[in-house]
Every structure is written in structure tokens, then in C-alpha cells.
Chain A
Amino acid sequence: MAKRRDILFWHPAVSLLFFALAIGCALLWRHPACLLISLVCGAWNAMRLTRRKRRRAGWPVLAAAVLLTAAINAAFNHRGVTRLAYLPSGNALTLESLLFGLSSGLLLAAVLLWFRCFSRVFTAEKWMYLFAKATPALALLLSMSLQFFEKFRRRFQKVTAAQAALASNGPAKERPLQTARRSFAVMLSWSLESAIVTADSMKSRGYGTARRTAMTRFCYTRRDRLLTLWLLLCGVSLVGAAATGLFDWRYFPAFGGGGAAPITGYLLTLYFLFCMTPLWADCLA
């Protein structure tokens, strides 16, 4: 790794706290400034945690999702005081419904970006470390079923590549349906076989005979303690601010918020600093 990306080495409990707060805030607040902060920080964090080659992937889909959400909302929601035109259905197209749709789309994009960071940071090992003691069976089940998707995808790529290579050497061009059927059959037998192998090897290694420990050990260091304090401080003040309605924003009937009190500005700055914790924690280290 060229740069030491510190958030990868935080204690699992600390990074879980960070992502729970970040995703929760991104999901619940519709204040335009909050949306902007969570979107920008989510994108920036996702960029930072993605390998250079894959950084450009996924953006068109996100942009399309944002635009589609705005369009769908404007087509079916007709509230709002600023009428732009009449739709063919006879109801009005309003600026507020467009803005609301846009904000929903941006919210969706921000949450997706934060989840992209989360899945990069929160590996299966961390899940196991945190939850294996409390619920061993559930943790194992979760980690096995979650890794299954990625494994399945990789295997499928291998199988289709092999099938394509075979087809290019073969005498006649095969129908695509037949290729798909064969790929599916290969995938099925491969998955079943590997499941049996996994079960056998777990049994021969003595799974379930005694209490287990997690494979990876994480130390709760001084840095983690400081980070926990900071995250809790942010969490309490931000959730408190949201509970008192400082981050409320209204889209209907008119677009507007509860005034620009200086305290809202401070809290937005705090929110920004909170979302950027990985950056400056990295710089301090």
C-alpha cells in the first residue's frame, strides 16, 4: 500500500461506531448543507479507499440514479408553490417536487458511497472479531453468506472466461442459451463441491468442539480511545442538534429552512469535521 490508510487499522468497534453515525446521518438529514457534506465526504472517503484502477467505476450508475429519482418524483409528486408547467396528466410540475426528488437522489448516492467505504473497511475478519463471541453461529453464518456473493461473482467470471475460450476453439458457434446453461451447471456443481470441502475441513479441524477465539486480534490503543471520545462527542452533539430541529428542512409547500442561526453553522462545521475524521486522524498519526 502506497499510503497508510489509517481507518483500515482502527479498532473494529471504533470504525463500526464511525460508520453507524456517518451512515445514519446521511440517511436521515435532508438539510441541503448536510446532504452536500455527506455526499462530498462520502465520495472523498470512497475515492481514498478504492484502488486507483477502480476509482472510475460506478459513477454513471450513481448519476443516473440521482436523475431518475428526481424525474420520478417530479412525475408523481405535484406539491409545491412554484409551478413550472402542467404535466400531460393534468397535474402540475413544481420546482419543489424536483428539488425534493433531487435531494432524495443525492441522499441515496451519499448512502451508497458511505456503504462502499464501509464494505472496504469492515472486512469479514472484523465482523467475526466483534460478533463471534456474542453470537458465534450467527456471525459465522453472516460472514459465510456475505463472502458467498463475492466468491460467486469471481467463480462466475472464471467459468464464463473458460467457456468463451472453449467456444473460440470449437468448430461451430454455440447458441448463447446453451453456453449459459452449461455455465450455470458448472457453477452449481462447483459451489456444492466446495461447500462439502469446507464442511469436511471444518469438521476435521474440530469446529464446534470447544470455545473458539477470533482469528485476528485487534488492540484497543490510545488512538482508538481518543477516537472513541471524539466520535461520541460528535454523535451526541449532532444527534442532539437534529433532535432539537436544527437540521430540519422543509420542501413542501415551500422550500426553506428554520433560518441560519450561527449555531447551525457551528454544527455543520462539526458534521464536516466528523465526516472527515479519517483524513485528519491519518495526518495526526
Chain B
Amino acid sequence: MKKRLFLLLALLVLLTGCAGANKEDRGERTLTCTLLIECETALQSSDLDGAVRAVLPESGVILEQSVTFAEGESVFEVLQRACRDAGVAMEFSDTPVYHSAYIEGIGHLYEFDCGSGSGWMYSVNGEYPNFGCSRYTLKDGDAVAWRYTCDYGADLGHPGGQALDE
């Protein structure tokens, strides 16, 4: 009996213990931005697994829409809400100490699916900020784009890997 209780408790801790990253809405959603999620580079890559390719859209555009958000919301919060509303799968890992979320996969396409240099990157108004998406606070009219890279951002016109070396 004790053993069973212990197991149940352990399960509960496991299921609830993971820190909550989603915050409550901060107010009226009056501001708007555009959100684009695309993975054209992955579709062109030969490393991509056939089963993953099968669940990706042929055009490479997973989501393209305008999103309303509240003052002070971050790129991450907007992405999470938009993905939930549109039914797009999205997985992230959260590091509460740094208040930082890392996007592991969107739409069943994950980091490292196209080699060691592949993963999701975000840009705001065409520029790639080199810090976490949950630290970037959006302004009205921003254009957010999530793009899949196969080579540390070089194939997106952003020398991300080299920037880290310097």
C-alpha cells in the first residue's frame, strides 16, 4: 500500500513538477504583429527523414497569420498562443533560472532533423536577435518569422555560427 502511494506521488510530482512557462494574459490584446513559420530549407535538405517530410506542408509554410497580443508580451508567448490556436505542434524547453525558453520543434520538425547545425531561428523585422525568444518583447506592427535552418543560420542569410565564434 505504501509502495503504491509512493509511486502515485512520484507520478504526480513528475507531471506537475515541470515549471509552468505560460503566463497569464497581461491585459487587452490590442497590438498586432505578423507571424510566419516556414521550413523551406528542411524540405530541400537530403538529411530529412521521409516520415517527417510526410507531415510537413509541401509549400514549407507551416503558419502565416497576423496575431494580436498585449503590451509586454514576448515572441515566445505569441508563438505558443498562435500554435495552440492553430493546432500546430510545438515543443520547447524552459530554463526558469534564465527566464529563457528554447524552441525544440515546430510542426513535428525538430532541431537536428537535418544535421547537427539545424534548428529553429526567429527574426523580427528581418533581423536575427542572438538571444532567447522569451526575452524579446514585441512592439506593435512587428514582423516575426520563425525559419528552419540546416546550417546555423547561414542558409537564411545570417552567419549565426560564425557570430558565436567571434
Number of A-B contacts (CB under 8 A): 56
Q: Is the CB of A89 within 8 A of B19?
A: yes
Asked if residues B91 and A253 are in contact (CB atoms below 8 Å), the reply is no
Binds A, one of B10-18, B30-38, B140-148: B10-18
Also in contact, A253 and B18, with CB within 8 A (given A79-B110, A83-B89, A90-B80): no
Closest to A60 in B: B3
Instruction: Check A75/B22 contact, CB under 8 A, given A81-B55, A91-B92, A254-B51.
Output: no
CB-contact partner of A253 in B10, B20, B94, B108, under 8 A: B108
Residues of A contacting B9 in the complex (Cβ-Cβ under 8 angstroms): none
The verdict on A250 contacting chain B, using a C-beta distance below 8 Å, is: yes
Chain A residue numbers with a CB within 8 Å of B115 are none
B7 within 8 A of A: yes
Contacts of B18 in A (CB 8 A): 75, 87-89, 91
B52 within 8 A of A: yes
Give the Cβ gap from A38 to chain B, nearest Cβ, in Å.
25
Taking CB atoms and an 8 Å cut-off, the chain A residues in 44-75 that contact chain B are: 60, 64, 67-68, 71-72, 75
How many Å from the CB of B19 to the closest CB on chain A? 7
14 A-B residue pairings within 8 Å (CB atoms): A64-B3, A64-B7, A68-B11, A71-B11, A78-B91, A79-B105, A81-B108, A87-B18, A88-B18, A88-B20, A89-B20, A90-B92, A91-B92, A252-B51
* 7 nearest CB pairs, A to B: A89-B18, A253-B108, A78-B91, A90-B22, A75-B14, A90-B21, A71-B11
